[in-house]
Amino acid sequence: MNFTHRPVLSSEVVEHLAVKDPQVYIDLTSGGGGHAELFISRYPKIKAVLIDRDLTAVDFLKNKFKDCSNVKVVKSNAGALDKILFLLKINRADIILADLGVSSHQLDTPSRGFSVKHDGLLDMRMDIEETTTALDFLKKVSEKELKKILSEYAQERESGRVARALKKAVSEGKKTTLELAEIVKNTKRFFPRGIDPATQVFMAIRMAVNNEMTELKKMLERSFATLSENGKMGVITFHSTEDRVVKNFFKDRKDLLPYYIEDKVDNIVPAGKVKVYKPVLPSEKEIEKNPRSRSAKLRILEKNY
């Protein structure tokens, strides 16, 4: 099977998440395994756990790493990291990566119904075993709730107008990506230059359908808890709503410190600290080669205790 996805910030991810002699790598959103492959070739003995909620990605990854006995591929929501590690009998990880959002493979496969450019039924499920498609979601959600979602997730200035138009369109039987993208385009009076007017609206619907913000918060909590002494976690975000969540999560962990523990004679002593690095952005060269990287931002946290 062909799986096209060019990993963003790839050399930066490997360089900034490097730790000494890592034993376990967890990729929470493995997609086509581009980042995972780089880590596995850099640390050939590392035990790698590759997670994705998309069956197509999982099948692809299983085949790609079929000769690597140190790689375990898991189909799951990354928010269930604690359960996955319990089943795999893994307590700690030295490097954890989450590269959020969708893969190019998902976006560019018309039948997955994610894209404003390719025609297909509006679906947008990352996990096709889930029952609610984006079309079902649009039919069920109230106009008021949809307005809130568009405004919170996509900072949509015309959320009320767009929500009303989308509700009307699906009640009249419109159901494909291109039909609904056209409705958004004809409804909006203002839109940013250079991107399709429906892009942000589609992104907000996708985030709601896949419950992405709740999953993100769970995966951050569970990753931090799993990180070993001197371990590093990196998160690549693609828009301000998810980036803010990651930024605040990292900041809160940093501000909590120093952590205190009891030593052998029951004294309370500082246990260590958490270091948060400056975000890393793609170079102009990368953006030119891969325009999808333009909004990527890599945040890194290191746990020194």
Ligand X SMILES: C[S@@+](CC[C@H](N)C(=O)[O-])C[C@H]1O[C@@H](n2cnc3c(N)ncnc32)[C@H](O)[C@@H]1O
Note the residues at the interface with ligand X (CB under 6 A): 5, 7, 29-35, 51-54, 57, 77-79, 99, 101-103, 126, 215
Minimum gap (Å) between residue 222 Cβ and ligand X: 11
Minimum gap (Å) between residue 51 Cβ and ligand X: 5
- Give the residue with the Cβ less far from ligand X, 53 or 188: 53
SS3 content of the chain, % helix, strand, coil (to 5): 45, 20, 35
- Give the residue with the Cβ less far from ligand X, 53 or 175: 53
Report the residue number whose CB is nearest to ligand X.
Answer: 31
- Give the residue with the Cβ less far from ligand X, 29 or 109: 29
> Do the beta carbons of residue 40 and residue 48 sit within 8 Å?
yes
Minimum gap (Å) between residue 190 Cβ and ligand X: 28
CB atoms within 10 A of CB 59: 15
Minimum gap (Å) between residue 187 Cβ and ligand X: 28
Contacts of 211 (CB under 8 A, 6+ apart): none
> Do the beta carbons of residue 201 and residue 138 sit within 8 Å?
no
Give the span between the Cα atoms of 81 and 4, in whole angstroms.
26
Minimum gap (Å) between residue 76 Cβ and ligand X: 7
- Give the residue with the Cβ less far from ligand X, 271 or 287: 287
Report the SS3 class of residue 240: helix
In 126-198, which ranges are continuous DSSP H helix? 134-140, 143-154, 159-171, 177-187
- Give the residue with the Cβ less far from ligand X, 103 or 187: 103
